[in-house]
Amino acid sequence: MSEDNISLFSPRLLDWHKSLDRPLPWKGIKDPYLIWVSEIILQQTRAAQATPYYHKITERFPTVASLAAVPIDELLSMWQGLGYYSRARNLHFSAQIIMDNFGGEFPSNYKDIISLKGVGKYTAAAIGSFAFGLPHPVIDGNVIRVLSRYFDLDEPVDTSEGLNKINHLVQLVFNAKKPAKFNQAIMDFGATVCLPKKPACSSCPFTSFCQASLNNTQSLRPIKTKKLKRKQRNFNFLMISKGAKIYIQKRVEKDIWQELYQLPMIEGVAFSKKSKLEKEAIDKWGTAVELEPIFTHKQLLTHQSIHSIVWKASMAPKGFSIPEGKWVNKADLGDYGFPKTLALFLKDFLYIR
C-alpha cells in the first residue's frame, strides 16, 4: 500500500460523502443525548427500522432527565419489536447515572462517555466525535469490511491480531481534524457502497486504489475464522385465560428479555413431548393441564436460536401459583412489553396493537 493510497483515503471519502443523499433524523445533530439514544438504537438495528423508534422515544423523552424519570416498563414497552432489550435497560440505567453522577449533563470526555453502561468503544467514538469533536475513529463491522478490502487484508479480522491491524489501519487513514465528518462518511460508505455481499465497485470512488478491487478479492474480505455457534432453546409458552383475562408473568431472571413480560413458560421440553410437558406443568404449578398447540415461531438472536410454541392451556384457574404473575385484561396487554415472538402471537391471535 503506497503513501498515496493512505493519504488519499480521507479526502476522497469526504468528497464522495458531499454528494450522498442519505438523510437520517439523527445526522448532523449536536445534542449528545439525542446522539446517544440514536446510537444505542442503531446497535444491532438497521437505520430504516431504527427511525420510527428514534422518533417515538425522543419525542416522548426529549431530555435525559425525562428518560431517567420514567419507569423502566414504559421504555421496554416502547422498545417492543426492536429486540436486544438490554439496550433499553442500559439506556435507562445510564440516564439515571447521568442525573446522579454528572448533574444531568451528558459527559463530554471519552473516559466518562465510555463509562456509561451499554456504551462500548464504537458508540463512545460516535458520540464523542459527533457531539464534541473528539478525535476517536469508529470501528464497527462496516469499517472493518471497508478497510480490510481497501488494504486487501489477508488476516482474519476476528482475532486480536487482526483487530490490532484494523486499529492500526484506521489510525493511518483517520482524519483527526474532521472526526465527525470522517466517521459519518465511513459509516455511510460501508452502508451504501462497500456492501457485504455486493460491493458497488464500479461506482466506488476508490475503485482504482482499492487493493481488493485490483486483486479481485472483494468477496473474500474480510476473512473470518470463527463460525458462529448458536445455542438452541425450546420455549413452551402457555396461554392461560379466564374470561377476558390472560395470565402473564414478568421475566426477572438474568437472561434474554429480562424485565419483559411473557406467558408462563416451560423451557427445554421438546414440542413433540406433549405428555411430558403436561406432567412438568403439574410439577411446576400444581395443577392438571390440557394443551393444544396454537402458534409456533423461530427467532434468531446473535448467540441463540429460540424455538417457541404457544399452547392453549386448559387448567383450573384457581390453585396455581406462578411467581411474578398476574391476570391482565386482553385489552390492556398493549401496555406491557413482550418479546417479539409473543408480540406477534398476541397481534395474530388477540389483535393487540
Q: Smallest gap, in angstroms, from Cβ of residue 220 to ligand SF4?
A: 11
Residue 191 lies near ligand SF4 (rule: CB under 6 A): no
Residue 210 lies near ligand SF4 (rule: CB under 6 A): yes
Phi and psi angles of residue 233, each rounded to the nearest 5 degrees, phi first = -130, 135
Kindly name the residue from 3, 39, 280, 292 that is annotated as catalytic.
Answer: 39
Residue 207 lies near ligand SF4 (rule: CB under 6 A): yes
Run of H or E including 123: helix 121-132
Run of H or E including 165: helix 160-173
- What is the DSSP track for 324-346? TEEEEEGGGGGGS---HHHHHHH
Is 39 an annotated catalytic residue?
Answer: yes
Residue 190 lies near ligand SF4 (rule: CB under 6 A): no
Question: Which of 99, 193, 288, 301 touches ligand SF4 (CB under 6 A)?
Answer: 193
Residue 186 lies near ligand SF4 (rule: CB under 6 A): no
Closer CB to ligand SF4, 124 or 153, in the complex: 153
β partners of residue 223: 156
By CB under 6 A, what part of segment 130-169 binds ligand SF4? 146, 149-150
Quote the DSSP letter at residue 230. Answer: P
How far apart are alpha carbons 150 and 330 in whole angstroms?
55
- Burial string for 340-351 (b: 16+ CB within 10 Å, else e) reads bbbbbbbeeeee
Question: Which of 206, 237, 295, 311 touches ligand SF4 (CB under 6 A)?
Answer: 206
Closer CB to ligand SF4, 18 or 229, in the complex: 18
Q: Say whether the peptide bond before residue 25 is cis (omega within 30 degrees of 0).
A: no
Residue 183 lies near ligand SF4 (rule: CB under 6 A): no
Question: Which of 83, 199, 264, 337 touches ligand SF4 (CB under 6 A)?
Answer: 199
Closer CB to ligand SF4, 26 or 182, in the complex: 182
Run of H or E including 233: strand 231-239
Please identify every residue annotated as catalytic.
39
The residues binding ligand SF4 (CB under 6 A) are: 146, 149-150, 193-194, 199-201, 204, 206-207, 210, 212-213, 218
